[in-house]
Structure 1
Amino acid sequence: MYPVMVLAAGLGTRMRPITDTLPKPLVQVGGQTMLDRVLDTFVNAGISQAVINTHYLPEQIEAHCKARRGAPEITLSPEIDERLETGGGIARALPLLGETFFSTNADSFWVADDNAARAMQAAFDPSAMDMLLLVAPCEKSVGMGSHPGDFSCNEAGQLARRGAEPAPYNYTGTAIMSASIFTDLPDGPFSLNLLFDRAIASGRLYGHVLEGLWLTVGTPQAITEAETALKQAGHI
């Protein structure tokens, strides 16, 4: 399996007051930290290497990673002076990731689709794709409220941004991408949206539809919502 870059450098401002003293990836949902849920999902798919970026309360994430047992082998990518956002954080970590890799958020995860990561890796075709995004049907997304969706997807699997009408899929924060697309970029912080838009313009942004339930946990209230959904699905 490709290595995975876990984006864990956020400030967690919407999760306050919990994150006044705790980095958001270490917030527990159903008795397990979100970071462990994310890592375990990829370990169960066969991944052996993870890179995690840090910025806010990094010593806590470092200590937590050292205390984990077994896979994956974890390398930290500190962002000490400034937070580099999603794109900048990955760009900083490219020497640790190799040519092709997963990227995923540390505050969202999925259940009831154990094959998603393997299926994504099998589907990724670098000759045709710059990035392959894991997308979830809006009706299978927990924690998004009334969000009208992010992308539509044609029969070939190519993604397009939501237009005037709601779109059927949410971006889950998980993707496969090639290091070769990280060229001609700003110095310092930038969003992955820059690379999404470039890939859309060239017809090289594709999607893989999640079959399970996707959960994103951005606020204290969302913890309860996620735990309710997990109980209903029989996962806690």
Structure 2
Amino acid sequence: MILAAGRGERMRPLTDALPKPLLRAGAKALIEYHLENLARAGFSDIVINHAHLGYMIEAALGNGKRYGVNIRYSHEPVALETAGGIARALPILGGEPGNSPTEKPFLTVNADIYCELDFSTLLPVMEHMEASPDKDLAHLVLVDNPGHHPAGDFALDSDRVALSGENKLTFSGIGVYQPKLFKNVMPGSMARLAPLLREAIAAGKVGGQYYRGAWVDVGTPERLRLLDLQLDSAGARSGSGSGSGWSVVQSTD
């Protein structure tokens, strides 16, 4: 699932006439990098939620055929925050809150980040979570802390995420979730993801991994401009997993 329903207030006036996922950096719209990287990794069925100017996202991406994927859309009359948007889309993703623990985990990625993570590295995680549905509710990809967020979000002890500890890292906006993480979120209601994650982490139900490559939260016009310059200078590379020397900016829920 690509999370694309945010209004993009910090990106105004750019987002007054265009939804943030369609803003361009390098040669492509932000969301196109995700679609291509997901297809390259073997993901074929993708759900995109949208609210503000969402019809433009559907018009631009269509059914996903030209990207090698099948896209379905989850429309939100008003943006429902991250957890609320996921809960609303669960029937499309193949499961609803409260169903049996055999529901399949799914990958989510924020539309407003640029990232060169090889998403295929998360396939074994998804398979393990499906095989052991009672172990973890989530698996988070964490990145280095940006200068303006030195405290980080969560600690990582080997492959386990903790609320506190040394060398805390920042949540990238990329995660794998069990549908039952959202069992108490009423479909159609607004709900943030962070409280659900903190509760699951406190219960020892969240795994994670550290990603060192290119990752940028494109949250302001200036960050978009810098990303555009970086992609142009790098030949608009994507999916390489390298990216040393790239700026890293906090992703927030």
| TM-score of Structure 1 vs Structure 2, range by shorter chain | 0.7 to 0.9
Deviations, residues 178-235 of structure 1 (Å, cap 9, x unaligned): 1122222356100111210121121011111224211210111001222344456554
Greater than 6 Å deviation, 4+ residue runs: none
DSSP 3-state at the match of 1:212: coil
- Would you say the 8 A contact 2:106–2:126 is kept in 1? no
CA distance in 1, matches of 2:22, 2:61: 10
Classify 1:174/1:114 alpha carbon distance in 2 versus 1 (closer, same or farther; 3 Å).
Answer: closer
Q: How large is the RMSD of aligned CA atoms in angstroms?
A: 2.3
Between the two proteins, what is the percent identity of the paired residues? 36
Instruction: Indicate yes or no: 2:96 matched with 1:93.
Output: no
Gapped regions of structure 1 (runs ≥ 5): 139-143
Aligned residue pairs total: 223
Which amino acid in 1 is paired with 2:177?
M
Distance 1:109 1:47 in 2: 18
Q: CA deviation at 1:123?
A: 5.7
| Alpha-carbon distance in structure 2 between the residues aligned to 1:118 and 1:86 | 22
TM-fit CA distance, 1:37: 0.8
Contact 2:11 2:220 in 1 (8 A): yes
Q: Which has the higher mean CA deviation after the structures are superposed, 188-197 or 202-211? A: 202-211
TM-score by length of 1: 0.85
Please name the residue that 1:35 is paired with: 31
Seen in structure 2, the aligned counterparts of structure 1 residues 222 and 71 have a Cα distance that, compared at 3 Å, is same
Kindly provide the amino acid, as one letter, of the partner of residue 146 in structure 1: H
Letter in 2 for 1:158: R
| Equivalent residue, structure 2, for 1:180 | 180
Cα pair distance change 1:231/1:151, threshold 3 Å: farther
Distance 1:63 1:234, change over 3 A: closer
Residue 141 of structure 1: aligned partner? none
Q: 1:211 and 1:119 mapped to 2: Cα distance? A: 19
2:68 corresponding residue in structure 1: 71
Q: TM-score, normalised by structure 2?
A: 0.80
Please state how far the C-alpha of 1:126 moved relative to its aligned partner.
3.1
Greater per-residue strand proportion: 1
For residues 168 and 46 of structure 1, what CA distance do their matches in structure 2 show? 31
Give the distance between the partners of 2:117 and 2:81, measured in 1 at CA: 29
